[in-house]
Amino acid sequence: MKQFVLLLVFVFSFLGCKNLESNTDIDNKSKLIEVFKASSSDYPNISVHRGGKGLKNYPENCLETITYVNDSITAIYEIDIAQTKDGQLILMHDNSLDRTTNGSGLVKNKTYNQIKRLNLVDDFGNKTNFRIPLFSEVLEWSRENNVLLTVDIKRSVSQKAVIDAIKKANAEDVCIIITYDVAQAQSAYNLNPNLLLSVSARNHKEFDRLLETNIPTENMLAFTGTRLSNASLYKRLKEKNMLCILGTLGNLDRQAEARGDSLYKNWYSKGVNILATDRPFEAFNAINKKEILKKIQLK
């Protein structure tokens, strides 16, 4: 009888610990999971591609550029993560240094000490005084200033290394992990189920595949591609209390530049929640109907 009582005590103690762990997991969920819902309204509706492009004297994937844009509008900033030869995570879109710096060669063949001496170059070929930032530096700045990032992990970079860096910086509340297919989404969720994920859902078939996983829809922010999807997809996402991003970068941005920025408002009204764009100031003005400080020199 005594052994039976001890067994019961052990079982209840174990269950209590499991419940405590479960509650702790809930408490550790990124705040973004609650913010980025269709039933909410206090999320940014502009995502700035590569942290800012087409800006004279302000290069892409540059902390100073993000700061500069953030002085004028409220937005999310998409950044690209690459890795140096000695394992340092940096902001860089290309495999090569040639286009965006005054250096040359592959990122993976350079140490951070070699890379940090280089100057970033803007989209017009102008050399700036800005340097390639460490991912850790951008995470610290974003956390301190409550600026949101969508983190695009390059193919050559370990997803785990990036997610571990976010956790180490206590930056889960300001980071969204970008994934391009179900396998990447599942892997990211398994590594850290507390993070909000940008998932590819360009059509009903892709969305159905996501729903077949064990990833809760509350952890999903749907990227619906760079062209308008069927209205039924936007409706279905809303019914699941999910937000969606339309990538206007590329063709749609060019349409708006040629035919008028009111197109952004038109696309937004079709059920899109967030526009990912290379023209953040124009898109922000069109959607939010606010005048912003136009101190940026555009094309």
Mind listing the pLDDT tens digit for each residue in 36-45?
Answer: 999 998 999 9
158-to-41, 151, 165, 291 alpha-carbon distances in Å = 34, 13, 11, 41
- The per-residue pLDDT for range 205-249, each reduced to its tens digit, is 999 999 999 999 999 999 999 999 999 999 999 999 999 999 999
Residue 16: burial class (beta carbons within 10 Å; 0-12, 13-18, 19+)? exposed
In the chain, the domains with their CATH numbers are 30-288 (3.20.20.190)
Does residue 54 come out as left (phi exceeding 0), alpha (psi in the -120 to 50 range) or beta? left
- The per-residue pLDDT for range 155-196, each reduced to its tens digit, is 999 999 999 999 999 999 999 999 999 999 999 999 999 999
- Check pLDDT > 50 for residue 16: no
- The per-residue pLDDT for range 251-287, each reduced to its tens digit, is 999 999 999 999 999 999 999 999 999 999 999 999 9
